[in-house]
Amino acid sequence: MRTVLITGAAGFLGSHLSDRFIAEGFRVVGMDNLLTGSMDNIAHLMPLKEFEFYYHDVSKFVHVPGELDYILHFASPASPIDYLKMPIQTLKVGSLGTHNLLGLARAKNARMLIASTSEVYGDPLEHPQQETYWGNVNPVGPRGVYDEAKRFQEAMTMAYHTFHGLETRIVRIFNTYGPRMRLNDGRVLPAFFSQALRGQGLTVFGDGSQTRSFCYVDDLVEGIYRLLMSDYAQPVNIGNQDETTIMQFAEEIMELVGNPDAHLDRRPLPTDDPKVRQPDISVARKVLGWSPKISREEGLRRTLPYFRETVAKADAVTKS
């Protein structure tokens, strides 16, 4: 049985990846310090003999006994509200954490995939964004702690690949959504769902003309799995090319939820907020034979029941 270490396993993406690798017949070693992750996301995996969990911060020395075939590094705060609140931890997990895990991969002769992000492109001057675009990032702005941590992570990973000959993969993840997202993580989709379900104002920054491209989590996991199993070492964009404005997205959520009290709440645009975001996925199509299959309409419909239940539970706790 092949073994994979997944850091950030109790997070949104890490938990879905754990599900996928167990379904593929792997033994999964999950690791998380629960800074932003939740044991609720992996509670269903804990009784399984194929799953083992370590409570650990990968910014410190990482030891995993036995053989490892693959490492997926998904540990990091990943939303503005988190990395603005925890800037040092964000920088450390992208730098020290990545260095520790690359060392572990080298010691175990394991292939390592890192979770990079579309944020390496910053507020892009190229649209859509290709992997060859170097980005437009403010290193000392409020988002720099996340953007530059990921850019360093890519550089360190590529250095291990070229200098040590380590098998590495780099995925640049664009906006992704689905069940197990945190209500209060500051990302647009949980915010819109929770606000619409509660009949509140959906927070739209600026004039709402800024764009995003949303990928359903099952599509993303499929792309990551294919990339890990490929022989391609350069960065690969994984995301959905179906671009929409934030204003249009808010209106779609309000229509889907159907709460007549929901309305728009306009706010000033945050510093360094990207105006556009859309992946060029030509490389993923050519190299991995991958493209997203689930439309935004279908993905939102699949995600709504999770948020209905999560909002209801949160509100019940507040009232009690």
Q: In Å, how far from its chain's centre is CA 282?
A: 20
The one catalytic residue in 146, 160, 177, 225 is: 146
The number of residues making up the chain comes to 320
Q: Which residues pair with 263 in a beta bridge?
A: 201
CA 224 to chain centre: 11
Active site (annotated) includes residue 146: yes
Q: Calculate what percentage of the chain has a pLDDT beyond 70.
A: 100
List CB contacts of 98: < 8 A, sequence separation 6 or more.
73, 114, 152, 153, 156, 157
Between the CA atoms of 98, 103, 109 and 112, what dihedral angle is there, to the nearest 10 degrees? 0
DSSP state of 129: B
pTM for the predicted model, two decimal places: 0.95
Check if the beta carbon of residue 38 is closer than 8 Å to that of residue 9.
no
CA distance linking residue 55 with residue 65, whole number of Å = 15
Determine the pLDDT at residue 296: 97
* Residue closest to 45 by CA, chosen among 28, 57, 31: 28
What pLDDT is stored for residue 184 in this prediction? 87
pLDDT higher than 80, residue 256: yes
247 φ, ψ (degrees, to nearest 5)? -65, -45
Average pLDDT value over all residues in the chain: 96
Q: What is the pLDDT of residues 172-201, one digit of tens each?
A: 999 999 999 999 888 999 999 999 999 999
Q: Tell me the backbone φ, ψ of residue 122, rounded to 5 degrees.
A: 65, -140
